[in-house]
A and B are shown apart, each in its own frame.
Chain A
Amino acid sequence: MPFLNWLKRRLVVIAGLLTLAYLLLPNIIVTVFSFNKPKGRFNYEWQRFSADAWKDPCGVADMCGSLSLSLQIAVWATVGATVLGTMISFALVRYRFRARGAVNSLIFLPMAMPEVVMAASLLTLFLNMGAQLGFWTILIAHIMFCLSFVVTAVKARVMSMDPRLEEAARDLYAGPVQTFLRVTLPIAAPGIAAGALLSFALSFDDFIITNFNAGSTVTFPMFVWGSAQRGTPVQINVIGTAMFLLAVLFVLFAMVLGNRRNKQKA
């Protein structure tokens, strides 16, 4: 059975390709339908090719406004969560203090708790405090749930760091600030970057918590959800495709940079 033998030898490759296809198929559909010219208001059936939506991505009322808001919130949430999360990670790994164990497990609660529960309780909290729902309440909520992811990523990195490296820096005439900037931070950087990327992605597409705490403010995921009730403009697919391409480009750029650096060193 030459065919069976052929299959046996390539089983891993075939399984890998199938998994990849499974992962990428939704993205391909989104991209394909961004070139559709739908008949009615819903973009769910293929009609014919058109680049109209790509030529006028902001042609739908309010969409680009919500996109810009989502990007702003994602950037600030990333900054806030990354800074706070990094500090928490260092505190948890480096220092022994009362209730350290409790903090260590409590920090993971937001990851484990159902989002809907968290969203509702946050809303209760904001309402009781008399807070005006909008940009700031969304931002506070996003920083909160991104924190645990940053802490997870950074803590793993800090824990595997040899404390002698910092001693070596201090021994070599680096004061506390210099030691942190020249040794601690660069070594922890991959963990911090991973935490930041996660935060950005989580914040940008969060719907449930945002929907509860946004008041009359509309973020991009909320816009997509809302328009799905009345009709889906092709521009949503355009934005989706653009985000996907940007992410792919970003990853490729990082890989090329890494490769070149390694070659220089070798």
Chain B
Amino acid sequence: MKTTPDNSGDVRLSGISKTYGSFTAVHPLDLTVPEGSFFALLGASGCGKTTTLRMIAGLEEPTTGTVRLGDQDVTHLPPYKRPVNTVFQSYALFPHLDIFENVAFGLRRRGIKSVKKQVEEMLELVQLGEQARKKPHQLSGGQQQRVAVARALINHPRVLLLDEPLGALDLKLRRQMQLELKRIQTEVGITFVHVTHDQEEAMTMADTVAVMNGGRVEQLGAPADLYENPRTTFVANFLGTSNLIEAEVGTRSGDDIVLKAGDGKLVLPGARCTAPTTAGGKVLVGIRPEKISLTHADDAGEIPAGRNRLTGKIADASFIGVSTQYVIDSPVCAGLSVYVQNVERDGRLVPGADVVLHWSPAHTFALDAAQAIDAGTEEEVAA
């Protein structure tokens, strides 16, 4: 079923934007989704990701810019003339048709007479062969979701668009469907563009993630790259959790930059700094909670040299099975989070204990201090 790579499944958005009256949902944006890739648009609600998807589908007309599929300009084609299909949020299955007819809908509209074999094969692919004659409301959420995927995929679209397809499912089913969708994508080799607000979902499934915020793409890249090297505080906070500490640029030693945070010194590889580093300037030092090790203050001498360290006091500890999540107040920064794997638990690490936080300089990154430090955190997104 794999198509030969002739780039006809590329999606190219150039200068595409959408305004409603005085509100700009999507600022002019350029994006290329390579053929056969699993691409995720990630962002909080209202960031323009769904509008972008709907412009690819043809359900919204862009205010400016063009949409291309391969070499074909489809900007002004209505949705029923585009070789693109959508899996809608809440599925939008036709309630008056049974599962078979739902899946056959697209084929029938294109005048294909013998649909039985194709529909049955497609229902097998999503493991719903038995349910063909049921009505959508007789199926569970997960099954409805698979019907929606089958109904779109049977048309062999050049691009499959998924609009928060797993949003209505409970956590366990969502994990299962993530793997399922990934499997289907690998099997059929069609370009998938997936819109989600769930950063874990985006990272699990996609080859490339575009993080959107306020109608703009903040950063684009492979999940691991985005996670390890966020370029803005929004990306740092929205993808997982980051500890961001204000620091002053000190001296350079070789490839490393030495920063001053309070009384302490932090070392940072120069390559991992996206901010201007004039001596005396301010930057935000970032470190992921799972990269930090905790040592009780009494054993501070055992910490190997060359590691970045901060002192602090445990404010809160929550045990969550595989790990324990600590909140630590440090003189340079309050409310640092640290995740420690529950391998060998130190009984002294309880709230109130004095500790030293330490990590390898290689895991440190730095961002421009001229941006909101809490952009993309849960509190900020909810507000």
Is residue A226 within 8 Å, beta carbon to beta carbon, of the partner chain? no
Is residue B142 within 8 Å, beta carbon to beta carbon, of the partner chain? no
What total of chain A residues lie within 8 Å of the partner, measured CB to CB? 20
Interchain Cβ contacts within 8 Å, total number: 70
Take A162-B92, A187-B95, A187-B96 as given contacts and tell me if A174 and B80 are in contact as well, using a CB distance cutoff of 8 Å: yes
Is residue A24 within 8 Å, beta carbon to beta carbon, of the partner chain? no
Nearest-neighbor residue (CB-CB) of B82 within chain A: A171
Take A178-B109, A264-B133, A266-B134 as given contacts and tell me if A171 and B57 are in contact as well, using a CB distance cutoff of 8 Å: yes
Take A169-B105, A170-B59, A183-B94 as given contacts and tell me if A175 and B88 are in contact as well, using a CB distance cutoff of 8 Å: no
Inter-subunit contact A170/B94 (CB<8 Å): no
Is residue B155 within 8 Å, beta carbon to beta carbon, of the partner chain? yes
Is residue A186 within 8 Å, beta carbon to beta carbon, of the partner chain? yes
Q: Looking at the complex, which one of B59, B138, B151 makes contact with A172 (CB distance below 8 Å)?
A: B151
Inter-subunit contact A265/B135 (CB<8 Å): yes
Is residue B185 within 8 Å, beta carbon to beta carbon, of the partner chain? no
Is residue A52 within 8 Å, beta carbon to beta carbon, of the partner chain? no
Inter-subunit contact B79/A170 (CB<8 Å): yes
Q: Mark A149-178, 1 if CB is under 8 A from B, else 0.
A: 000000000000010110111111111001
Q: Looking at the complex, which one of A162, A173, A187 makes contact with B109 (CB distance below 8 Å)?
A: A173
Inter-subunit contact B134/A173 (CB<8 Å): no
Q: Looking at the complex, which one of A164, A171, A183, A186 makes contact with B80 (CB distance below 8 Å)?
A: A171
Nearest-neighbor residue (CB-CB) of B84 within chain A: A171
Q: Mark B323-355, 1 if CB is under 8 A from A, else 0.
A: 000000000000000000000000000000000
Interface size class of B (residues with CB under 8 A): 20 to 34
Take A264-B133, A265-B98, A266-B134 as given contacts and tell me if A172 and B92 are in contact as well, using a CB distance cutoff of 8 Å: no
Interface residues of B in 214-250 (CB under 8 A from A): none
A-chain residues with CB within 8 Å of residue B134 when the two chains form the complex: 265-266
Take A172-B151, A173-B109, A173-B110 as given contacts and tell me if A167 and B79 are in contact as well, using a CB distance cutoff of 8 Å: yes
B-chain residues with CB within 8 Å of residue A264 when the two chains form the complex: 133
Take A168-B86, A265-B98 as given contacts and tell me if A173 and B133 are in contact as well, using a CB distance cutoff of 8 Å: no
How far is the CB of B158 from the nearest CB of chain A, in Å? 14
Inter-subunit contact A167/B59 (CB<8 Å): yes
Q: How far is the CA of A178 from the CA of B85 in the complex (A)?
A: 17
Take A264-B133, A266-B134 as given contacts and tell me if A172 and B95 are in contact as well, using a CB distance cutoff of 8 Å: no
A-chain residues with CB within 8 Å of residue B93 when the two chains form the complex: 168
16 A-B pairs besides A171-B84, A175-B78 with CB distance below 8 A are: A164-B89, A165-B92, A165-B95, A167-B92, A171-B58, A171-B79, A171-B152, A172-B80, A172-B85, A172-B105, A172-B109, A173-B80, A173-B110, A173-B155, A174-B105, A265-B133
Q: Return 27 A-B CB contacts under 8 Å, by A number.
A: A164-B89, A167-B88, A168-B86, A168-B92, A168-B94, A169-B94, A169-B105, A170-B78, A170-B79, A171-B59, A171-B80, A171-B84, A171-B85, A172-B106, A172-B109, A172-B151, A172-B152, A173-B81, A173-B106, A173-B110, A174-B109, A183-B94, A187-B95, A187-B96, A264-B133, A265-B98, A266-B134
B residues adjacent to A (C-beta < 8 A): 57-59, 78-81, 84-86, 88-90, 92-96, 98, 105-106, 109-110, 133-135, 138, 151-152, 155
